[in-house]
Structure 1
Amino acid sequence: MKIGYPNNPRKEIMEEIKWIGEHFDFIDFFMEPDKAYYNQIDLKAIKRALEDYGLGIVGHTAYYLPFASPIKAIRMAAINEAEKCFASFSKLGAEYVTVHASWPPSLFNAKEGLQMQIESLEILLQRAEKYGIKLMYESGVGELDNYGNVAKILQALPKLYF
């Protein structure tokens, strides 16, 4: 069994890697602002540090990316941001990357929310595949994050991990 730990994206990533590398087997790399986002980090230095510590990596995108926004342009912007993370995670050697459940405002019902998520996740799966990434889905703690809805998403998307 391997035990990992997440970095805090509000702290300096190299210090986080050092501490995690001294105590754990892998980093659950939260690629988020304000100090661990793809456009704020030195991928070569991070890759070298991961190798120096023998540290594995699992990627983790921001939980607040709005993949189920009722506004399609916002969903696509979130998908595009996730893809930029996929590119960086691929360079760091991550095989698995997590995306989070996303639900529209309560003006929309669960069926509509599921459809928005599934549409976004289909695109995310295609984009992740380009980088050799296996996509994992992490449900939340809200009322709609229940067994039935998660099962519908996984049934619709057999390549999606949970």
Structure 2
Amino acid sequence: MIKSKILMFTLALGVMGSTVFTPVTAHAATSTAKLQAVGANANFNIDVLGIVNKIQASINSKNFNGNKAAFCKNLMETTFYEAGGKYNVVVFDLSQDYNYRLEGIKMYHGFSYEGTTFGVWVFDRNQPKGAYFRNDGRRGWDHWACRGWQKQVDNVMWYN
């Protein structure tokens, strides 16, 4: 009941996420192009799929030897497979600027590694036209990773 109310509240705010039917790919953006950030970012801890504890246990059992890129990639892969390989995944260094328009978010949670908090979004494959996740900060595997059905154009992942 509570999960349902949180989900409905989040839908009403228009911050739920999904993707388009294109081949599954994993990306780390490296372009230096920037877009102007518009609006505010809102994060809600949700776990409709019940996978947060499994992801946390998986990352706790590994030693990344101070390699933030390895942590970020592992978090992306672990999340994708714990979600059954049926949803899009975005992992993002929350110290960086970003903006998104996604629907059907099934999970959002923050995971910390050596002082950096990574936000993780898991969302439906089917997205409305104009769905995106835009990185307005630094790029590369140590700052963001995406897996699912998307197309990267510069610093934006498009999900339609």
TM-score with structure 2 setting the length = 0.30
Larger radius of gyration: 1
Larger RCO: Structure 1 or Structure 2 (Cα < 8 Å, ≥ 6 residues apart)?
2
TM-score, with structure 1 as normaliser: 0.30
Greater percentage in helix: 1
